[in-house]
Amino acid sequence: MASLTLDRLTKRYGDTTVVRDVSLDVRDGEFLVLLGPSGCGKTTTLRMIAGFVPPSEGSIRIGERPVTDLPPWKRNAGLVFQSYALFPHMTVAENVAFGLEMRKAEKAEIEPRVREALRLVRLDGYGDRYPRQLSGGQQQRVALARALAIRPDVLLLDEPLSNLDAKLRLEVRLEIRALQQQLGLTTVMVTHDQEEALTMADRLVVMSDGEVRQIGSQADLYETPTDLFVANFVGRSTMIAGTIYAPGAFRSEGGLELTCPPGPVTGLATMSLRPERLTIGPDAARLDNHMRGSVAFVSYLGGLLDVHVRLNDRDQVVVQIPNRGDVFVPAIGDQVEVGWPAAACLVFPRETN
């Protein structure tokens, strides 16, 4: 395994820039996830690393080796696709052996390595089957074994779980993560599924419009998002539009006077609130910001309840409460007290578009 470095990677098609100035350092053995909505450039970035898309500018290094101008077959990157991309006319064992054959490995060496790779993904004994005889989850594990058999310098996963059903997705997710840690694989995964990203990654890169918005750990992204996009995309937030008119003083468009931590933002601003940081009921009165509102809507999420509270004509917040059975559950139309501490407020300059 090796580290992976992207330096100011840019991809343009004509006048459209799909990836702009992406610089990343993936440490040896690190699991990095590129997260973003579709069209954000994450897949193009991965394809540039794999060698299928030539970058317009910038460079890529795997370990100390510059690979920017190398074709895919000289990069030694293991690739796993959303669609599995197994060779339909080859058996499972032949699929896994393919990369070793390409490396001119001896027959005597290939066989034990194929068996080893299949054992890693718990498919020992499936070598003689054809891909079409396997379930989706099994096919994706074959694809993983095939990518691992060549002992790649980096492992690249392109939405590897998207084609699997929910239960299997969870299973394969844990399996990939366990293998990655066990083998110390330098891994870059692309996904649009934030839960997947949060549970698997060592570090995440949030992308949008071809640019990196934030790089950090799960806690970094959730607790201290650098902009409104990240606050919105990672986890859930409710937004209150307003103005910062003095340090730590926020006035909403609906006229609420709110206290927030003093920061660099002044003028038009948006306050972002995590629903679980809000309190509903009598306890709310002790908090920095508290007010009365009426319950507009309650959504039942099983373990959690989302209570939408209308504060005035313009402002509404979502309060998330655990469904413990012994807590007060408001009904639609109830007048309730809502509150949150100043520290729960994330304030960003208003995005002008």
CA distance 70 to 75: 7
| CA–centroid distance for 143 within its chain | 22
Q: Exposed (0-12), middle (13-18) or buried (19+): which is 115, by Cβ within 10 Å? A: middle
Cβ proximity to another protein, 159 vs 196, nearer residue: 159
Cβ proximity to another protein, 105 vs 298, nearer residue: 105
Cβ proximity to another protein, 31 vs 98, nearer residue: 98
Q: How far apart are the first and last CA of the chain?
A: 43
Q: Exposed (0-12), middle (13-18) or buried (19+): which is 293, by Cβ within 10 Å? A: buried
Q: How far is the CB of 49 from another protein (least distance, A)?
A: 10
Cβ proximity to another protein, 82 vs 208, nearer residue: 82
Q: How far is the CB of 186 from another protein (least distance, A)?
A: 15
In the complex, the residues that contact another protein under the rule CB under 8 A are 50-52, 71-79, 81-90, 98-99, 102-103, 143, 146-147, 150, 156
Q: How far is the CB of 57 from another protein (least distance, A)?
A: 23
Q: How far is the CB of 341 from another protein (least distance, A)?
A: 49
Q: Name which of 37, 35, 6, 38 is nearest 23 in CA terms.
A: 6
Q: How far is the CB of 144 from another protein (least distance, A)?
A: 12
The secondary structure of 188-220 as a DSSP string is: EEEES-HHHHHHH-SEEEEEETTEEEEEE-HHH
Cβ proximity to another protein, 79 vs 260, nearer residue: 79
